[in-house]
Amino acid sequence: MARIAYVNGRYVPKSDATVHVEDRGNQFADGVYEVLKVVGGRLSDGDRHFARLHRSLDAVRIAPPMSDAALAQVIRETVRRNRLTDATVYLQISRGPAPRDHLFPAVPHPTLIVTAKRMKRPDPAGYADGVAVVTAPDIRWLKCEIKSISLLPNVLAKQAADEQGAYEAWLLREGDVVTEASASNAFIVDAQGVLRTHPLSPVILGGVTRSVVLDLARAEGVPVAERAFTTAEIAAAREAFLTSTSSWVMPVVRVDGGVVGEGVPGPVTRRLQQAYHRHVFGNREAAPSNVAAHAAAG
């Protein structure tokens, strides 16, 4: 079956989907994007994703091409036309086509692209046993709170991590302060048992899964502090994990070759994996057996 994409008002086979050669998304990375899940035909955390989309659009001064209700309908229809129930959806809004000039076009015509594929689930082995990450200098710009399509520094960091046999790159500013990762947010459970992650600021993207997991942690009675941590604090941490729309709550058991805690996913991580699974699927689907068993034991 041909994959179907939505591009500027038309549903077309993905192989035939095109944008103008002078689209500012292509020439200037002048646009923003969102990645979200549709579960059972329902937008998972759609309100949080749309709120972040509006913050990004406002920051770069691009007018939304349609209302939220209309955009939600486009997303659902794209998923339906791809014969999916559970899907990962990518949507991108650029300032649109215009003769190449750094200045905004006087009358912009934003380009909207929506694609859908079978919902990406975390790597089962990593989700069960944990993954390794490496650290790298954070060379990104100073407006990381915007979900910009300009991702070259992230791409380079993720590629370097993969070439070192790691799942992700945790990014460092000021030499040793972890901001976030190339495509996810970074967490530790520190030596005092407090769940820590970098506070919202221009040097991180406020992840939707990050915000959900913080809410779930508070509901579970886990002490939470939105406070940055250093590489030295990773070495002393009890647990670590990362979060994103596609990685969910991914345990981290090694950082730069050093073992985190006992070298296995810890009890707080397991509880939050299970809580996040309930948040996404409700009673429709049980959490993986290893996650549920370890959460109960913890």
Residues with catalytic annotation? Answer: 147
174 Cβ neighbours under 8 A, 6+ residues apart: none
Nearest to 141 by CA among 112, 111, 171, 170: 171
CA dihedral 261, 267, 272, 278 (to 10 degrees): 150
For tokens 């939600």, the residue is 72
| Tokens matching residue 24 | 């500012």
**Percent of residues in the chain assigned helix, strand, coil, to nearest 5:** 35, 30, 40
Element (H, E) at 63: none
| Tokens matching residue 292 | 């549920």
- Residue 70: strand, helix, or coil: helix
User: Is residue 103 classed exposed, middle or buried when 0-12, 13-18 and 19+ CB atoms within 10 A define those classes?
Assistant: exposed
Determine the residue type at 48.
R
| CA dist list (Å): 239 to 211, 236, 254 | 19, 9, 10
Radius of gyration of the chain (CA): 20
Cα distance between residue 146 and residue 59, in whole Å: 7
182 Cβ neighbours under 8 A, 6+ residues apart: 154, 155, 157, 158, 161, 168, 169, 171
Nearest to 282 by CA among 42, 76, 90, 99: 42
